[in-house]
Structure formats: C-alpha cells, structure tokens
C-alpha cells in the first residue's frame, strides 16, 4: 500500500516517517548530479522542442538519478534522464501510459493518478525521494518519476468539484474519486455534513445526494475524520427504513466500520447508543460489532462491554424477533465473554434464533473459546471485515460484488411499461410519505389510480387542475421541497408515470397498476379511491343520470375494490383477486366507452355500427352536438 498523505499527517497512519539510508552512495550521487547538469545532448534537445511533447514550463523536482530504470519504451523516453534538479514532463496521455508500463515492468507496481493529490503532494514525494519516507517500494526511481508527474500535472489532478461530481453520478464504485477525496477530506466534510444534517431532519434526498453521502462518509472514515462523528451518531438513530435506503444491503458492516473509524466520544457513548430505544436493529447490530472490536483492540474496557451485553439481555431491550440479537451473539462470542454463556443459551431460545442449527451454535461456541484463549486476536472480526477503514475502495468491495452478481438489474423496471424503475418507484413512494409532505397527500398507489382515471376519462384535464389534489387539495398543501433539483425530480417521475399510463391506454396494453399487496381487504383500496376521485374531474360524466348509470356499470369492479362504504357490501378475497387480475381490461373498457378513438380491451364485444353525424345529438345523452361532446374529445389521452 502506498501512502497518499503527507508523512506524519496522522499519528495513527500506518505509513509514518521512517528513516532509511539513501539508495545511492554519496560519491555516485555527486557524479550523477554533475553529469546531469551538463547541456542535454542533441537527441534530447530535439525531443524537448517537439510540439506534441513540449514541456517548456515543466516544474523542477529533487529526485535521485537512476539511468538503468528507463531502458524501455520509445526512443525519446528510453534515455530520458531524471536528476535532483529538474524533471522532464511528458504531457501527452500516450506517453503517460508509456511511463505507467515502464513502472509496471521494473517495479511490478502501478500507480493510480489519484493516489497523490493535494497541496502537500510535492513535500510528500520530496521526502520519499530523499529517503525519509517509506512508500512501499524503496529506491524505485520509475515509481517516483510517475508519482511526481501525476501529482503535479494539472491534467491529472481531480479538483474537489470533480470528486463530488464523480461521487454523485458514478454508476459503479468511484474508486479514483474516493481515493482522491481522502486528501480533500476537510473540504469534502462540509458537503457531507450538510447532507447528513438534511437526512436527519427528514429531507428525502435525491438519489445523487444519497450516493454522495454514502461514498463521502466512507472517504471521511478513511481519513479518520472524527469531526463527522456527532452527525453519524444522529444517523444511527434514524428509522431502519432510512438506514436501509442510505446504506443498502451492507448497512451493518458499513456502519460498524464507520463507527470504528470516526468515533471520538467517551467509551460509554457507544453502550448508551445500544440501550437507546430510538436506535433500530441494524444500527444496534453494527454497534455490537464495533464495541466487540474496540474491546479486542484495547480501546474500550472489556468489563464495560460485558455489562452492556448483560443489561441488554436482562432488560430485554429488543423484541424476540429483532435481528439485533444476532449482533448481540456476535459481540459476545468475538469479545470472549465466557461469563455470559448462560445468557447466550437464553438468547438462542428467542424466535429470531429459531433458524439456527446445531452447526451454527457450535461455530459460535468455537469463536467464543478461541477468543477466551487469545483475547487480543482480531482474526475472526478481520475475516468478516469488521475493522477501521484505511482504504475507502476496499471498504466497499461488497458493493462491487453485488454489482458483479448482477444485482444492479433491480434498478431497472422489470416491466418497461411501468415508465419508472423499481428504485424510482420506491423513492417516490417514500417521498410521498416523508416529513416533507403533508399527511393529507395521496399515497403513490392512490396517485396511480387518480392518473388512470384522468387519462381514461372523456375530458382533457390539465396538470394545473389536478396537481394540487395530489398534495391535499390546496396550493398551501404543496410539499416543502428542499431544492429545485428535488422538485424537478419529483415532478419528472410523476410525469413519466403519467405518460406510461397514457401510452398503455393508447396502444391497448395498459401499464401495470402500482398496487401494494397487503394480503387483506385493503389491497387495491387506495388505487380505487384515487380512480374514483379522478372521475370527479370529468364534468361530462355527470351530464345526465343516464351517463352516471352507464359509468357505474363500467366501473362496478373498481367500486367493489373501494370497500363497503362505497360499494355497499364486502367482497370475498377470491373476487378481489379476480378484479385485480382483470383490472387492465376494465381500464380499457372504460377508455373505449369514454373515448371513441381509444383502443378497446381484448375480448370486448364489437359495437353495433351506427353512423353519427358531427351535428347530430351525441348518443351519450348529454344533449350536445356530437362534435361538441364525445366527437370532439380527441382520439386519445393527453400526454405530457
């Protein structure tokens, strides 16, 4: 591992200043320096004047001269000489790649361009060249050559804005940006702290900000930025759904490592968080693993850990079904707390441990015995990745593994007719129930039924007419959007869903309804309520009692979904299931009846051929001319 920070920057950093002898005898160093100060030969002068490789403004460096290190590559670079006074800089990307191959050939190591960055890079590499800092490959001039090129070439350095942009928008783990961000931790912390504060305050962060917060916390942890700890402690108290949304499948491991890297409070602070009823099971599990590791490392009194676990079990601080008990078992066994073995057997009797086999329990006892024999052995926790973060990229290997296994496919809609990805559906559903939105707002299921009725009905409804209804019915009920970006993202998702519904009706293949399967009499009720509310916006449907009766016959299945308060009687579970299965056909039948140009549902009986003149009375019974009523309502729904 190479040092990416100035020597001595942090006393706990593994690559501190180390004194070692110079790789060159002083006499040889003097001879080489004198030789290097002579005028460059003709071939070197011609190379320096070339337009593609001009380096007239090249900075100067203090580097040892090692001519045998550059014996490969194109002629211009084959004899390129480095000395303690100046260094020629190859500005073209092609020759930077050649230098990388040279470095790899002679040292077996490659160097990421972002492994050196920040204002103190020059001092760092100068100390490496002088032999006062260990960098993993002592005396390797090609490695030092490339490090200095990459550290000081402005085209290779990532600015803070570049780092933030990459962390926000990368589709994979932004390795280069994360490693470059370590050197920019103080400035990056301001942005991450602000996002964490919003998350704690109930702001539903847009996906890019969620991603920046996730990666940014890992970057700060690699820098041992303890200033972020108070905000991290607040994050631990968030509801489990928020923690899951922010940290994903590896929430427990990630939180444990963040705690180990950033905790700067009193030793009793972590046990207090474990006992806090506001802390949910994922955070408790992570806290259990963190205090076990701190006990092994000698950073917290083992007796304090034992008292914390004993009290947790004795006072039943979690439900029997809570996965926090799995964290309790992990902490007790890895910390080697043999006195708590009777409590361990009681925990095994809880419902959450019902799936544990004899082999699982034997493994727990094995870990306990090994920890008792050697209390300071952290091998087992290391094997599970429970340790402080040194490299943010290494800390997120689990994310790469998930991506390699194809779990990223879940971010795309399983059905292209939906118009939204599964992640976007979950995000929008969460936003509509967040603290930014009033309790009077519709749920996403209700919005979906509402949109379907507005689109399938006979009248063209403008967004300005119905948007207020989504938030509660009045303009004052609109959400307290955090930023313009968030408002645009929410409205963009709503309009994409609208267009997906409209397109499905136009082509006769409706988008699947967004209905949450509660497995009881409430399934589909919100969707039906939204649909019926949407019909109220179509004035032509209430033009006469005849039309109302016809409408009631068309929407009878939807009325049944709305519940006995609307339908007049309860329906059986089997009929509810049948209604939900037939819902696409029901929507198309309604659209076909209300919009003459709409596509009828499959299996719909053909209508009798009746020619209606444009100036004849409309057959719907409204009393208006056909061209002013159904004949003028358009052939399809409005698309935004």
Contacts of 42 (CB under 8 A, 6+ apart): none
Nearest to 222 by CA among 184, 248, 249, 187: 184
pLDDT of residue 78: 32
pLDDT at 235 over 70: yes
Rounded CA gap, 554 and 550, in Å? 6
Summarised one tens digit per residue, pLDDT across range 544-571 is: 666 777 778 889 999 999 988 888 888 8
Nearest to 322 by CA among 332, 331, 334, 313: 313
Summarised one tens digit per residue, pLDDT across range 379-391 is: 889 988 899 999 9
Rounded CA gap, 532 and 388, in Å? 55
Rounded CA gap, 566 and 529, in Å? 9
Question: What's the length of the chain?
Answer: 640
Rounded CA gap, 45 and 47, in Å? 5
Rounded CA gap, 4 and 15, in Å? 9
Share of the chain above pLDDT 90, in %: 49
pLDDT at 623 over 60: no
Backbone dihedral angles phi then psi of residue 603, each to the nearest 5 degrees: 85, 0
Domain boundaries, the chain: 160-403, 416-594
pLDDT at 638 over 60: no
pLDDT at 197 over 90: yes
Task: Give the model's confidence band at 597: pLDDT under 50 very low, under 70 low, under 90 confident, else very high.
Answer: low
Mean pLDDT calculated for residue range 461-473: 86
Rounded CA gap, 345 and 434, in Å? 41
Contacts of 34 (CB under 8 A, 6+ apart): none
pLDDT of residue 627: 58
Which residue in the block uniquely carries the two structure tokens 């709409």? Answer: 598
Mean pLDDT calculated for residue range 325-354: 95
Summarised one tens digit per residue, pLDDT across range 281-297 is: 999 999 999 999 999 99
Rounded CA gap, 487 and 480, in Å? 9
Task: Give the model's confidence band at 448: pLDDT under 50 very low, under 70 low, under 90 confident, else very high.
Answer: very high
Tokens of residue 461, six digits: 């409804």
Mean pLDDT calculated for residue range 60-69: 33
pLDDT at 603 over 60: no
Rounded CA gap, 286 and 273, in Å? 11
Rounded CA gap, 175 and 218, in Å? 12
CA 335, 340, 344, 347 dihedral sign is negative
Mean pLDDT calculated for residue range 434-445: 92
pLDDT of residue 384: 86
Terminal C-alpha separation, the chain: 54
CA 196, 197, 200, 204 dihedral sign is negative
Q: Which CATH class is domain 160-403?
A: mainly alpha
pLDDT at 332 over 70: yes
pLDDT at 637 over 80: no
When the pLDDT of each residue in the chain is averaged and rounded to a whole number, the result is 75
Q: Does the domain made of 416-594 have the CATH classification 1.20.120.740? A: yes
Tokens of residue 472, six digits: 């509660």
In eight-state DSSP terms, residue 410 is G
* Better-predicted residue by pLDDT, 79 or 448: 448
Summarised one tens digit per residue, pLDDT across range 98-140 is: 334 333 333 333 333 333 333 344 444 444 444 444 444 334 4
Tokens of residue 581, six digits: 């299965």
Judge residue 280's burial from the number of C-beta atoms within 10 Å of its C-beta, 0-12 exposed, 13-18 middle, 19 or more buried.
buried
Any idea which of 192-196, 237-241, 589-593, 621-625 has the lowest mean pLDDT?
A: 621-625
Rounded CA gap, 343 and 361, in Å? 14
Mean pLDDT is highest, among 102-106, 338-342, 606-610, for 338-342
- Burial string for 597-608 (b: 16+ CB within 10 Å, else e) reads ebbbbeeeeeee
pLDDT of residue 263: 94
pLDDT of residue 410: 44
Rounded CA gap, 472 and 99, in Å? 63
pLDDT at 29 over 60: no
* Better-predicted residue by pLDDT, 204 or 71: 204
133, β-bridge pairs: 17
* Better-predicted residue by pLDDT, 344 or 144: 344
Any idea which of 12-26, 145-159, 234-248, 400-414 has the lowest mean pLDDT?
A: 12-26
Dihedral over alpha carbons 592, 596, 598, 601 (to 10 degrees): 30
Task: Give the model's confidence band at 404: pLDDT under 50 very low, under 70 low, under 90 confident, else very high.
Answer: confident
pLDDT at 58 over 60: no
Record the pTM.
0.70
Task: Give the model's confidence band at 402: pLDDT under 50 very low, under 70 low, under 90 confident, else very high.
Answer: confident
pLDDT at 243 over 60: yes
């Amino acid at each position: 591992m190479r040092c990416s920070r100035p020597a001595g920057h942090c006393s706990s950093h593994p690559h501190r200043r180390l004194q070692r002898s110079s790789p060159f005898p002083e006499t040889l160093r003097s001879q080489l320096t004198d030789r290097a100060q002579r005028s460059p030969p003709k071939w070197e002068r011609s190379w320096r004047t070339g337009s593609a490789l001009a380096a007239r403004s090249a900075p100067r460096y203090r580097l040892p001269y090692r001519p045998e290190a550059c014996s490969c590559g194109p002629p211009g670079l084959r004899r390129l000489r480095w000395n303690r006074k100046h260094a020629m800089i190859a500005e073209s990307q092609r020759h930077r790649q050649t230098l990388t191959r040279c470095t790899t050939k002679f040292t077996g190591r490659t160097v990421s361009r972002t492994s050196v960055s920040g204002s103190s890079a020059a001092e760092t590499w100068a100390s490496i060249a002088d032999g006062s800092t260990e960098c993993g490959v002592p005396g390797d001039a090609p490695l030092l050559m490339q490090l200095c090129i990459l550290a000081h070439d402005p085209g290779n350095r990532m600015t803070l804005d570049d780092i933030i942009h990459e962390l926000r928008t990368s589709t994979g783990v932004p390795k280069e940006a994360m490693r470059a961000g370590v050197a920019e931790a103080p400035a990056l912390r301001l942005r991450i702290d602000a996002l964490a504060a919003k998350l704690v305050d109930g702001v539903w962060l847009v996906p890019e900000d969620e991603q920046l917060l996730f990666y940014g916390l890992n970057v700060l942890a690699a820098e041992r930025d303890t200033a972020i700890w108070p905000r991290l402690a607040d994050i631990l108290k968030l509801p489990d759904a928020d923690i899951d949304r922010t940290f994903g499948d590896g929430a427990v491991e990630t939180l444990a490592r963040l705690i180990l890297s950033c905790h700067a409070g009193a030793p009793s602070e972590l046990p207090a968080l474990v006992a806090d009823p506001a802390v949910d099971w994922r955070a408790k599990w992570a806290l259990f693993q963190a205090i076990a590791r701190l006990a092994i490392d000698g950073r917290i009194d083992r007796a304090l850990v034992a008292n914390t676990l004993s009290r947790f079990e004795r006072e039943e601080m979690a439900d029997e079904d809570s996965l926090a008990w799995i964290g309790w078992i992990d902490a007790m066994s890895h910390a080697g707390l043999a006195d708590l073995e009777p409590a361990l057997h009681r925990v095994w009797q809880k419902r959450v441990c019902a799936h544990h086999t004899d082999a699982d329990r034997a493994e727990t006892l094995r870990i306990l015995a090994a920890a008792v024999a050697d209390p300071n052995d952290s091998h087992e926790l290391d094997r599970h990745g429970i340790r402080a973060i040194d490299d943010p990229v290494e800390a997120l290997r689990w994310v790469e593994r998930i991506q390699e296994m194809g779990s990223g496919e879940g971010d795309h809609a399983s059905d292209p007719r939906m118009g939204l990805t599964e992640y976007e559906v979950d995000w929008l559903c969460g936003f509509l129930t967040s603290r930014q939105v009033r309790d009077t707002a519709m749920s996403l299921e209700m919005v979906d039924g509402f949109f379907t009725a507005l689109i399938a009905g006979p009248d063209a409804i403008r967004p300005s007419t119905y948007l207020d209804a989504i938030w509660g019915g009045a303009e004052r009920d609109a959400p307290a959007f955090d930023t313009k970006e968030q408002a645009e993202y929410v409205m963009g998702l709503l309009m994409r869903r609208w267009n997906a519904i409209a397109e499905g009706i136009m082509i006769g293949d409706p988008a699947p309804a967004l209905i949450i399967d509660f497995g009881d009499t409430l399934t589909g009720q919100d969707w039906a309520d939204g649909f019926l509310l949407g019909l109220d916006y179509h004035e032509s449907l209430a033009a006469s009692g005849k039309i109302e009766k016809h409408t009631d016959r068309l929407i009878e299945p939807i009325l049944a979904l709305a519940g006995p308060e609307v339908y007049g009687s309860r329906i059986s579970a089997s009929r509810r299931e049948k209604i939900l299965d037939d819902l696409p056909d029901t929507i198309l039948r309604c659209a076909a009846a209300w919009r003459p140009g709409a596509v009828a549902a499959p299996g719909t009986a053909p209508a009798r051929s009746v020619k209606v003149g444009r100036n004849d009375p409309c057959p719907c019974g409204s009393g208006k001319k056909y061209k002013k009523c159904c004949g003028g309502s358009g052939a399809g729904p409005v698309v935004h």
